[in-house]
């Protein structure tokens, strides 16, 4: 066997084993999350510091959700994720942290009382959708936008059952929403019913009330 063929065979074997690692990660996540019910997925920036208005809102929101019988799922890292896990755990609720291993920024926060560690982004995203009964999305970056638009796409295309999708932080999201309404909609890229999939709610108490209208705990 020449060196080139040896390298090709080695890569083929590595790809085969990758499939088993992916399956194992799916199994571990499903076994853990199947024990947690009525969880709300909360998203937002990892770069928000304690004391920031949105850190406080995420913490209050998660506390109220826990007090009303909901669990909370976050990406398990710092910032908004930490705030939500903190609020839920300190209120005695299920506080799930689904941490992703990254070379920078993302480190697990200490407030999740149910912890899962992921290597693969796409598996983690499946778990957010599969086990979240609602999404609340606070100001964030690319990762937050990714989760937001994936949820809208899956609901719009009827790949999943519709659930509440709430944007919290109207000032932050105003430019995006105006672009959707004034550019995408008139150009026929989305319909009016697509815009109606999103609710803008700044007050944590009102957000919980809205979720409770659709989800029976």
Average pLDDT over residues 161-187: 97
Q: Please name which of 77, 205, 67, 90 lies closest in space to residue 143, comparing C-alpha atoms.
A: 77
Q: What is the DSSP letter of 71?
A: E
Q: What domain range includes position 78? A: 37-214
Is there a domain that residue 12 lies in?
Answer: no
- Report how far residue 125's alpha carbon sits from residue 183's, in angstroms, rounded to the nearest whole number: 28
User: Domain holding 43: CATH number?
Assistant: 3.40.50.450
Question: Whole-prediction pTM value?
Answer: 0.90
The first and second tokens of residue 89, run together, are: 């755990």
Q: Residues 78-121: pLDDT tens digits?
A: 999 999 999 999 999 999 999 988 776 567 899 999 999 999 99
* Count of structural domains, the chain: 1
Helix, coil or strand: residue 152: helix
């Amino acid at each position: 066997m020449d060196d080139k063929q040896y390298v090709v065979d080695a890569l083929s074997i590595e790809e085969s084993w990758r499939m088993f690692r992916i399956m194992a990660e799916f199994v571990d996540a499903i076994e853990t999350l199947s024990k947690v019910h009525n969880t709300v997925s909360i998203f937002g920036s990892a770069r928000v510091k304690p004391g920031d208005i949105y850190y406080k809102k995420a913490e209050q929101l998660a506390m109220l959700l826990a007090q009303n019988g909901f669990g909370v799922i976050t990406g398990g890292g710092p910032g908004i994720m930490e705030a939500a896990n903190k609020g839920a755990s300190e209120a005695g609720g299920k506080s799930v942290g689904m941490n992703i291993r990254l070379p920078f920024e993302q480190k697990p926060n200490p407030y999740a009382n149910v912890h899962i560690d992921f290597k693969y982004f796409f598996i983690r995203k499946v778990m957010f959708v599969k086990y979240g009964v609602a999404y609340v999305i606070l100001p964030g970056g690319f990762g937050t936008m990714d989760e937001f638009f994936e949820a809208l796409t899956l609901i719009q295309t009827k790949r999943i059952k519709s659930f509440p999708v709430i944007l919290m932080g109207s000032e932050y999201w105003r430019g995006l929403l105006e672009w959707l309404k004034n550019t995408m909609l008139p150009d026929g890229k989305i319909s009016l019913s697509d815009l109606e999939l999103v609710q803008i709610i700044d007050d944590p108490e009102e957000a919980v009330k809205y979720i409770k209208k659709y989800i029976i705990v």
